Amino acid sequence: MLLFLAACHSSTGPGGGLHRADLLALARSDSADPIDQALVFRNNQTVSITWVNSDSSQSTYAVFHVIPQSVRARNDTLLADTSTVTLTVSATPGVFGFTLTPATVVFNIAGPPGVDISYAQYADFSVIDSSPSKYPNPAAFAQALKLYYEYAPDQWRALNTGNASNVAASTLSQPGVYLLAAPK
């Protein structure tokens, strides 16, 4: 019996992920990144928490939406309805992205938290120059934007994201690193 093995390089990782180099992140044209913020809520409430840019008008960067029981566990312990949950969100400088911590929190896959990212204020669409045949104008690029989650080192997976009027809406996978981007 003969066994042949072949290997080739692919830009996709296990489970259909992409490398960061294969993504065009939506750049931010200003240094008014939002300041790190604690998102504090009770696990039995429906809340929307607005995260603002550090500009003088306090324009919206993102709105996080939490529904009851969207966080299942913390530190390997199931949470009660009345538990208070604290997540911290930090902006990724220069792009529309963020890191959500702590990593010890587990979201409910049947009803995770969500986010609406507003890129109306500081979007810099000049990144489309890197791929003019794919994105001939900012509108084409905006239509292709999705929220990506880094599920493994340098492995990014697109989440179901809806785009409308300079806002990208998506559910969140788990605490970690997120990036608003489109494939190159």
Please say if the pLDDT value at position 11 is more than 80.
Answer: no
Please say if the pLDDT value at position 14 is more than 80.
Answer: no
Is 17 part of a structural domain of the chain? no
Distance of CA 14 to the CA centre of its chain: 20
Please say if the pLDDT value at position 66 is more than 60.
Answer: yes
**pLDDT for 79-109, tens place per residue?**
998 999 999 999 999 999 999 999 999 999 9
Question: What is the pLDDT at residue 15?
Answer: 56
Please say if the pLDDT value at position 1 is more than 50.
Answer: no
Alpha-carbon distance of 158 to 180, in angstroms, equals 9
Is 23 part of a structural domain of the chain? no
Is 9 part of a structural domain of the chain? no
Alpha-carbon distance of 113 to 6, in angstroms, equals 42
Is 111 part of a structural domain of the chain? yes
Please say if the pLDDT value at position 39 is more than 60.
Answer: yes
Which residues have a Cβ under 8 Å from the Cβ of 4 and sit 6 or more positions away? Answer: none
Enclosing domain of residue 113 = 31-183
Please say if the pLDDT value at position 44 is more than 90.
Answer: yes
Closest CA to 180 of 134, 132, 130, 143: 143
DSSP state of 16: G
What total number of domains does the chain contain?
A: 1
If DSSP codes are grouped into helix, strand and coil, which group holds residue 127?
helix
Please say if the pLDDT value at position 72 is more than 60.
Answer: yes
Specify the higher pLDDT residue, 131 or 170.
170
Share of the chain above pLDDT 90, in %: 80
What is the residue-wise DSSP string for 40-97?
Answer: EEETT--EEEEEE-SSTT--EEEEEEE-TT-EEEETTEEPPTT-EEEEEEEEPTTBSE
Is 19 part of a structural domain of the chain? no
Whether 41 and 49 have beta carbons less than 8 Å apart is answered as yes
Is 7 part of a structural domain of the chain? no
pTM: 0.89
Is 14 part of a structural domain of the chain? no
Please say if the pLDDT value at position 163 is more than 50.
Answer: yes
Is 38 part of a structural domain of the chain? yes
Which residues have a Cβ under 8 Å from the Cβ of 82 and sit 6 or more positions away? Answer: 42, 43, 44
Please say if the pLDDT value at position 24 is more than 70.
Answer: yes
Residue 71 CB-density burial (10 A; 0-12 exposed, 13-18 middle, 19+ buried): buried
Q: What is the CATH number of the domain that holds 176?
A: 2.60.220
